[in-house]
């Protein structure tokens, strides 16, 4: 069902535009949208609410680190945070759509095992 929320609609468009080889690998990974990261999430990452603009978070084991020796694990998921994405888009004079795309691809990159330096080199830092 299509969302009437502009943020959610833009996110749905970007997910629909993913290449098939990416979309297939992400079928089991929910993309969760929250307004803001929780205090628990920020504390876990060592971030302060006033100075952090955490736009997204991949939780799970990157595909490159998985092993058959570790058969049980919690399900992966990707979180996007509306508030920080909106604020970063305004501050960087990036369109909301582009900032959603960057954040989504950044978190997908983490799922596939890319680190922050590699994502920055690709333009998704």
Asked whether residue 69 is domain-assigned, the answer is: no
81 class by beta-carbon count within 10 Å (0-12 exposed, 13-18 middle, 19+ buried): buried
- Tell me the CATH number at 47: 3.30.2010.20
Domain enclosing residue 15, as ranges: 6-60+74-121
Number of domains in the chain: 1
Asked whether residue 1 is domain-assigned, the answer is: no
Asked whether residue 68 is domain-assigned, the answer is: no
Asked whether residue 66 is domain-assigned, the answer is: no
Per-residue pLDDT tens listing for the chain (125 residues): 555 688 999 999 999 999 998 888 888 889 999 999 999 999 988 888 877 889 999 988 766 666 666 666 667 889 999 999 999 999 988 899 999 999 999 998 888 887 888 888 887 77
């Amino acid at each position: 069902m299509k969302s009437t929320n502009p943020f959610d609609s833009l996110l749905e468009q970007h997910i629909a535009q993913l290449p098939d080889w990416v979309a297939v690998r992400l079928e089991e990974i929910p993309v969760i949208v929250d307004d803001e990261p929780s205090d628990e999430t920020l504390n876990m990452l060592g971030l302060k609410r006033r100075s952090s603009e955490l736009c997204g978070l991949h939780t799970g084991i990157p595909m490159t680190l998985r092993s058959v020796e570790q058969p049980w694990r919690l399900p992966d998921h990707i979180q996007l945070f509306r508030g920080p994405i909106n604020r970063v888009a305004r501050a960087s004079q990036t369109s909301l759509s582009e900032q959603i795309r960057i954040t989504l691809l950044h978190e997908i990159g983490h799922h596939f095992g890319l680190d922050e330096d590699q994502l920055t080199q690709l333009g998704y830092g």
